[in-house]
Amino acid sequence: MYNPSVVGGAASTASSNRLFVYEVEGLRQNEETDKMDYPIRRSGSVFITVPYSRMNQEMQRIARMGGRIVSIRAMTADGAANGKVSSGTEPQPTQPAEESKPMTQAQEQAPEKKSKKELHADVPVNIYRPNAPYIGKCLSNEELVGEGGIGTVRHLIFDVSGGDLRYVEGQSIGIIPEGTDDKGKPHKLRLYSIASTRHGDHIDDKTVSLCVRQLEYKHPETGETVYGVCSTYLCNMQPGADVKITGPVGKEMLLPDDPEANIIMMATGTGIAPFRAYLWRMFKDAEQAANPDYQFKGLAWLIFGIPTTPNILYKEELEELQAKYPDNFRITYAISREQKNAEGGRMYIQHRCQEMGDELWNLVKQEKTHTYICGLKGMEDGIDEAMTAAAAKDGVEWKAFQKSIKSRWHVETY
Query: 3-state SS string over the chain?
Result: CECCCCCCCCCCHHHHCCEEEEEEECCCCCCCHHHCCCCECCCCCEEEEEEHHHHHHHHHHHHHCCCEEEEEEEECCCCCECCCCCCCCCCCCECCHHHCCCHHHHHHHCCCCCCHHHHCCCCCCCCEECCECEEEEEEEEEECCCCCCCCCEEEEEEECCCCCCCCCCCCEEEEECCCECCCCCECCCEEEEECCCCCCCCCCCCEEEEEEECCEEECCCCCCEEECHHHHHHHCCCCCCEEEEEEEECCCCCCCCCCCCEEEEEEEHHHHHHHHHHHHHHHCHHHHHHCCCCCCCCCEEEEEEECCHHHCCCHHHHHHHHHHCCCCEEEEEEECCCCECCCCCECCHHHHHHHCHHHHHHHHCCCCEEEEEEECCCHHHHHHHHHHHHHHCCCECHHHHHHHCCCCEEEEEC
Grade residue 221 by pLDDT with cuts at 50, 70 and 90: confident
Residue 332's closest CA among 347, 310, 343?
Answer: 347
128 labelled catalytic? no
Between 152 and 33, the more confident residue is 152
Residue 406's closest CA among 22, 185, 39, 83?
Answer: 83
16 labelled catalytic? no
As a whole number of angstroms, the distance between CA 46 and CA 107 comes to: 20
Catalytic residue among 100, 142, 161, 414: 414
As a whole number of angstroms, the distance between CA 262 and CA 359 comes to: 13
Residue 412's closest CA among 261, 299, 254, 258?
Answer: 254
Catalytic residue among 193, 196, 209, 231: 193
Grade residue 291 by pLDDT with cuts at 50, 70 and 90: very high
As a whole number of angstroms, the distance between CA 335 and CA 347 comes to: 6
As a whole number of angstroms, the distance between CA 191 and CA 249 comes to: 9
Q: Is the dihedral of CA 124, 127, 133, 135 positive or negative?
A: negative
Name which CATH class applies to 134-249.
mainly beta
Average pLDDT over residues 29-36: 46
Grade residue 403 by pLDDT with cuts at 50, 70 and 90: very high
Asked if residues 305 and 319 have their Cβ atoms less than 8 Å apart, the reply is no
Domain map of the chain by residue range? Answer: 19-110, 134-249, 262-413
Asked if residues 361 and 254 have their Cβ atoms less than 8 Å apart, the reply is no
pLDDT at 22: 76
Q: pTM score, two decimals?
A: 0.76
As a whole number of angstroms, the distance between CA 311 and CA 313 comes to: 6
294 labelled catalytic? no
pLDDT at 325: 97
Between 352 and 13, the more confident residue is 352
As a whole number of angstroms, the distance between CA 306 and CA 219 comes to: 24
pLDDT at 51: 76
Lowest-confidence segment of 49-63, 67-81, 388-402 by average pLDDT: 67-81
Catalytic residue among 192, 233, 333, 348: 192
**pLDDT (tens digit per residue) in 305-351:** 999 999 999 999 999 999 999 999 999 999 999 999 999 999 999 99
pLDDT at 165: 96
134 labelled catalytic? no
**pLDDT (tens digit per residue) in 367-377:** 999 999 999 99
Catalytic residue among 196, 314, 374, 397: 374
Between 122 and 58, the more confident residue is 122
Grade residue 113 by pLDDT with cuts at 50, 70 and 90: low
As a whole number of angstroms, the distance between CA 261 and CA 408 comes to: 11
pLDDT at 91: 40
Is pLDDT above 60 for 11?
no
pLDDT at 90: 39
Is pLDDT above 60 for 104?
no
Exposure string (b/e) for 262-275, b if CB count within 10 Å is 16 or more?
bbbbbbbbbbbbbb
Residue 202's closest CA among 117, 280, 292, 97?
Answer: 280
Is pLDDT above 80 for 404?
yes
pLDDT at 119: 61
As a whole number of angstroms, the distance between CA 340 and CA 321 comes to: 27
Average pLDDT over residues 113-133: 80
Catalytic residue among 58, 169, 367, 412: 412
Average pLDDT over residues 250-278: 96
Q: What is the percent of the chain with per-residue pLDDT over 70, rounded to a whole number?
A: 78
pLDDT at 145: 97
Grade residue 87 by pLDDT with cuts at 50, 70 and 90: very low
Residue 20's closest CA among 146, 106, 137?
Answer: 106
Residues in the chain: 414
Average pLDDT over the chain, rounded to whole?
83
Between 46 and 314, the more confident residue is 314
Average pLDDT over residues 55-73: 73
231 labelled catalytic? no
CATH fold of 262-413? Rossmann fold (3.40.50)
As a whole number of angstroms, the distance between CA 248 and CA 256 comes to: 18
